[in-house]
Amino acid sequence: MPGGAGLPEGPARTRASDADRELAVAALRRHWRAGRLDETELEDRVSSALAGRTLGELRKLLEDLPGEPPAKRRTMPGRRGEPALHGPPSHWQRAVSSLKAGAATLLVGLTVLVIVALIASSGDDDREGSYGPPPADRITRVAAGERGSDAEMEFEALAVERAARLPLRPSSTTDAAEALASAEGQEFLVVVVKATNRSDDRATPFCATGARLYTDDDEGHELVERLYELDGNEHVCSEGMTPGEAARFRLAFSVAEGAGARDIDVWNAAEEDDIGGATRLRMALPPETDASRTPSD
């Protein structure tokens, strides 16, 4: 058959199917790759093939092109000239397909492992010992009972308390008797921190971030989401601390029952360029106290 399209036999007026049009297009592309058609001719004939309504119209597009000798291989529709065997796939075809699928799965698995490893290595790499080695340009250690400064904010850890419930401040939406309850198997560790604004501007420390607690089970813990609602945290996410003003903050963390506080990282998250704590203080903590006690300055 002219052009080697593999079009079905039948009268020229027989209506062409989508598959017939695709066969004609595939044949035209083969002849273009063989150099029998230039790009303009290919474009024109492909357009005509896609618009062809009968087998005769498709054959006319191929009548000046040589046919191909009969063979066991033909071009499947939509494969842009790739050969495929007649009939159902053979054993070797199924084997090749299985190998390709297995290789793709293995590649995805290796990619996931690499991503997980990168995340793990970039996580808490600033911790010492079980925390990992701390870079000197990020961590400043502060002994228990001592004060430290980060970005013009001075911090001092005053006390550590343990509680199952934390009272909330009364507000227009919160009843005075309401409290934040710990989840099953969890309890709260509260670190009372005194902060003093040493800058010339207002500051709002611990508004959503600015502290991370480490416990003796080698876990790191973020501040509770409702920190600003806790009783005693009037300065959290408020109008801020004026220059020279000092205030206490009750930094609450949800931990596993029985976990002990090891140390706490604090930083001045009010600094727009240090929200994540690129520089921070690692403060050793005093022994736990009764939650009913109020530490003195």
pLDDT in tens, 281-294: 999 999 997 653 44
Residue 291 lies in a domain: no
Q: Name every residue whose Cβ is closer than 8 Å to that of residue 234 and which is 6 or more positions away in sequence.
A: 169, 247
Q: Are residues 145 and 92 in the same domain?
A: no
Give the three-state DSSP class for 140: strand
Whole-number percent of the chain with pLDDT over 70: 67
Predicted pLDDT of residue 200: 93
Average pLDDT over residues 219-226: 91
pLDDT digits (tens, 9 = 90+) for 256-281: 999 999 999 999 876 555 566 778 89
Question: For the domain that residue 185 is a member of, what is the CATH number?
Answer: 2.60.40.1240
Residue that is last in its domain, among 97, 122, 147: 122
Q: How far apart are CA 158 and CA 150, in angstroms?
A: 17
Per the prediction, the chain carries an average pLDDT of: 78
Q: Is the pLDDT of residue 89 over 60?
A: no
Backbone angles phi, psi at 221, to 5 degrees: -135, 140
Residue 199 lies in a domain: yes
Predicted pLDDT of residue 46: 93
Higher pLDDT, 275 or 210: 210
Containing domain of residue 7, as a range? 2-84
Q: Distances from the Cα of 188 to the Cαs of 145, 165, 251, in angstroms?
A: 22, 7, 10
Higher pLDDT, 97 or 15: 15
Higher pLDDT, 102 or 28: 28
Of 7-21, 68-82, 230-244, the one with minimum mean pLDDT is: 68-82
Q: Is the pLDDT of residue 10 over 90?
A: no
pTM: 0.54
Q: Is the pLDDT of residue 232 over 70?
A: yes
Q: Are residues 151 and 242 in the same domain?
A: yes
Q: Is the pLDDT of residue 113 over 90?
A: no
Q: Are residues 264 and 182 in the same domain?
A: yes
Residue 228 lies in a domain: yes
For the chain, the domain total comes to 3
pLDDT digits (tens, 9 = 90+) for 150-209: 989 999 999 999 999 999 987 655 555 688 899 999 999 999 999 999 999 988 888 868
Q: Are residues 117 and 52 in the same domain?
A: no
Q: Name every residue whose Cβ is closer than 8 Å to that of residue 283 and which is 6 or more positions away in sequence.
A: 141, 142, 144, 146, 148, 155, 157, 263, 264, 265, 266
Q: Are residues 169 and 266 in the same domain?
A: yes
Higher pLDDT, 198 or 7: 198
Residue that is last in its domain, among 71, 98, 122: 122
